[in-house]
Amino acid sequence: MELLPVLDGIHSAETFHPAFLDAFFERVAQLESHPEEFEDALKGKVIATVFEEPSTRTRLSFEAAALRLGAGVITVADAGSTSRAKGESLSDSAKVLGGYADLLVWRHSKDGASRLAAQSTGVPVVNAGDGRLGHPTQTLVDLHTMRKEWGTFEGKVVGILGDLRHGRTARSLTWGLAASGASILLLPGPGLAWEGGLEERILSRFDYRRRPVSHALIPGWTGSSEAWLLEPRSFIQGQLFQGGPSEISSLDALYLTRLQEERGARQERGSYPGVNPARMEDPLLSKCLLLHPLPRRGELPESLDGDPRMRCFNQARFGPVVRQAIFLALLREDAWPLPAVTPMPAGEVEHGLGPCPNPNCITLEEGIPSPWRVVGKRPRSFLCAFCDSSLPAEYVGCLSTRRVHPLHSASAEKIRAENLKPFLAREQAEVAGFAWGG
């Protein structure tokens, strides 16, 4: 399977791992303590910021970061003013802009847009938010904010509250927190949980487990009496589980998110979860930092701005320095080597699984087949290589034995990743020349 080149950009928080994060945040600390040493680090470089969705903090903090390093900036703040409005494909735009700039920062409404742009151009691409899928640089900002408070994530419990289903910051942060060793309390608003698959991938990648927990505040947030905690197995070794939920006594941080109405999210008036001064009196939240990627709505009221636990403006302030470190990692690898992020497979295009089932996938807009990548072994899943949606494979063929097996079978598990060929139906595999292997 072809792999995207190492550090060809930052597309997904799924590519972060502990060694990368440790080294990255050391660099951020260097930038914070000696900003003057980096003033000309990117002199002569051009950075393009292409924002096809509204943005205040993300675009301007990327641009401030570029200017602080001596780079020039060209920008698209409104896609309606570009050839994209005349129907130009994302891949054509990326090809063209890669000839004008040394690095592209791209925000797009479709899931997987950043990976597609990176495959179309020869320069690094940084995902500044793609649809509901990811916002990995916001995750680096969020993690930096918490690391500055705690130094380590060991033993810390972070709640993520609100629109998990459509919110890209929540999705990326969950990966980032798991890569950092924190426990994560998932608090989706009613009907706003994410689809299956994401948590399973996190559990198997980081050796985490899922445990139900309860607290009197939880029903008012999620509409259900219990919530799920994702936690490192090592952290809970020796504890006995009766199967039922146990009471959670304290949260170290709560990450609030707004309802993503532009992605079709709807909620009955007054039922969207948040905090207020009275709720903040609860012992669960006594030392709980309040984070929010902003913009906020009623879920984090201004009446809490003077609260000593409030951190959302710290996050916003850290945007430029974190993004300076990203630019240096990608454009000055000579001076700023970092451990490579885990490469994202570019995926295999050949399969009979049909189009990506996610209506917001970039492959549907671009009219291209959805390449698959494979994750896990037991169970093995096939995902769209651009938007990570599950592709509905039921059978899997082996390219070396030319036999086809049910996906969930011992024989299928034995097939090496490079020999896999997924199918929707057994007949389809037989037409393609695979014999039934049972």
Nearer to ligand NCD, 176 or 345 (CB): 176
Contacting residues for 83 by C-beta, under 8 A, at least 6 apart = 93
- Is residue 297 part of the contact set for ligand NCD (CB under 6 A)? no
Contacting residues for 374 by C-beta, under 8 A, at least 6 apart = 1, 380, 381, 382, 383, 417, 420
* x/- track of binding to ligand NCD for residues 157-196 (CB under 6 A): -----------xx---------------------------
Tell whether the torsion through CA atoms of 209, 214, 220 and 224 is positive or negative: positive
Least Å from the CB of residue 55 to ligand NCD: 6
Least Å from the CB of residue 114 to ligand NCD: 13
Nearer to ligand NCD, 110 or 351 (CB): 110
Which contiguous run of DSSP H or E holds residue 254?
strand 253-256
Residue with tokens 């129907």: 87
b or e along 413-422 (b: 16 or more beta carbons within 10 Å of the residue's beta carbon)? eebeeeebbb
Least Å from the CB of residue 290 to ligand NCD: 15
- Is residue 138 part of the contact set for ligand NCD (CB under 6 A)? yes
Tell which one of 140, 294, 396, 398 touches ligand NCD (CB under 6 A): 294
Distance CA 299, CA 189 (A): 11
Side-chain half-sphere of 215: how many Cα atoms within 13 Å? Answer: 21
Residue with tokens 């905090």: 275
Nearer to ligand NCD, 183 or 315 (CB): 315
Nearer to ligand NCD, 108 or 421 (CB): 108
Nearer to ligand NCD, 296 or 403 (CB): 296
- Is residue 49 part of the contact set for ligand NCD (CB under 6 A)? no
Tell which one of 1, 29, 32, 57 touches ligand NCD (CB under 6 A): 57
Task: Tell me the number of residues near ligand NCD by CB under 6 A.
Answer: 11
- Is residue 258 part of the contact set for ligand NCD (CB under 6 A)? yes
- Is residue 370 part of the contact set for ligand NCD (CB under 6 A)? no
Nearer to ligand NCD, 229 or 294 (CB): 294
Nearer to ligand NCD, 53 or 282 (CB): 53
- What is the three-class DSSP state of 140? helix
Least Å from the CB of residue 349 to ligand NCD: 29
Question: Which residue from 215, 150, 206 is spatially nearest to 185, judged by alpha carbons?
Answer: 215
Contacting residues for 161 by C-beta, under 8 A, at least 6 apart = 187, 189, 221, 254, 255, 256, 257, 273, 274, 299
Residue with tokens 């303590």: 33
Q: Could you tell me where the beta strands, DSSP code E, fall in 15-108? A: 46-51, 72-76, 103-108
- Is residue 15 part of the contact set for ligand NCD (CB under 6 A)? no
Peptide bond into 245 cis (omega under 30): no
Least Å from the CB of residue 248 to ligand NCD: 26
Tell which one of 129, 274, 320, 437 touches ligand NCD (CB under 6 A): 129
Nearer to ligand NCD, 256 or 396 (CB): 256
Question: Which residue from 178, 189, 246, 181 is spatially nearest to 212, judged by alpha carbons?
Answer: 246
Least Å from the CB of residue 95 to ligand NCD: 26
DSSP state for residue 195 in the 8-state scheme: P
Contacting residues for 410 by C-beta, under 8 A, at least 6 apart = none
Least Å from the CB of residue 78 to ligand NCD: 16
Distance CA 329, CA 323 (A): 10
Nearer to ligand NCD, 241 or 313 (CB): 313
Least Å from the CB of residue 302 to ligand NCD: 17
Alpha helix stretches (DSSP H) within 98-197: 113-120, 136-150, 168-180
Least Å from the CB of residue 316 to ligand NCD: 8
Nearer to ligand NCD, 88 or 261 (CB): 261
| Helix-strand-coil split of the chain, %, nearest 5 | 35, 20, 45
Nearer to ligand NCD, 168 or 351 (CB): 168
Tell which one of 135, 156, 166, 211 touches ligand NCD (CB under 6 A): 135
Least Å from the CB of residue 89 to ligand NCD: 23
Near ligand NCD in 61-120, by CB under 6 A: none
- Is residue 58 part of the contact set for ligand NCD (CB under 6 A)? yes
- Contacts to ligand NCD by CB under 6 A: 57-58, 129, 135, 138, 168-169, 257-258, 293-294
